[in-house]
Amino acid sequence: MQRYFIYLSFNGARYHGWQIQPNGMSVQQKLQEALSTILRTDTEVTGAGRTDAGVHAAMTVAHFDDNNANVVKMGGPNQLAYKLNRLLPYDIAIQRIVEVSETMHARFSATARTYYYFVHTRKDPFLGDRSCFIHYDLDFALMNEAAAMLLENDDFAAFCKTKTDVKTTICQVTKAQWEQIDEHRWRFTITANRFLRNMVRAVVGTLVDVGRGRVSLQQFADILASRRRTEAGESMPPQALFLQKIEYPL
């Protein structure tokens, strides 16, 4: 058996997230269908994690196992990547395919994940599908003070979607920072070893409440300590969220 990592990107606007859904099109479904067609055998792919409906990935990873050397027979990983890109829809792109040890796992072997969340403060007809328009003033310096508290915390239950099957809400956040891209555009970067469902959009929504003056720094600390989702802010829209990078000990 040979295991392969597929590095890919996708625009999530048309999809019900990464994971296969009973009543909606998913990225995993499209990738599995294309891979099975090309390899001429049913092939399952395992992703690095879930992304919600409408969320994009500048880079994500999935793995699959080839038990019959089909990849080699067809010309190798580069040829497979070429054929997948020909078959997949326009909004899913394969960057590269590499052989890995069979002990490597797209989800469990990842050591860090980075997400970007984009906002713009002036109406722009070309940003609406990949950034969130904020029509009120925000204090980004204050939001960064609150974001720094995330690095001192390890339990993110306050930002976790309720009624999930998650076994632990412990995460190690190593970066959380707002950075200005230009006069009217900002990017929030957050890196952690793992993320909970809806965590990034809930964090951003609560930080925006800080920036609007609705939540003080002390109240933000209290929200973290409460471990209750009802205490935190609303989740931000999905189209501005990008899974940017996944790191592995390769």
Catalytic one of 52, 65, 91, 124: 52
CA distances from 162 to 149, 165, 166, 197, 228 (A): 22, 9, 10, 9, 9
Strand partners, 64: 4
- CA 111 from chain centre, in angstroms, equals 14
Q: What's phi and psi for 204, nearest 5 deg?
A: -60, -45
Sequence-distant (≥ 6) Cβ neighbours of residue 26 within 8 angstroms: 15, 16, 17, 18, 19, 20
Tokens of 34: 């294309």
Of the candidates 147, 223, 163, the one whose C-alpha atom is nearest the C-alpha of residue 196 is 163
Give the burial string for 133-166 (b: 16+ CB within 10 Å, else e).
ebeeebebebbbebbeebbebeebbbbbeeeeee
The answer to whether residues 28 and 62 touch, using CB atoms and an 8 Å cutoff, is yes
Active site residue 129: no
Burial class (CB in 10 A: 0-12, 13-18, 19+), 241: buried
> Cα-Cα-Cα-Cα dihedral of 161, 54, 203, 205, to 10°?
-110
Catalytic residues: 52
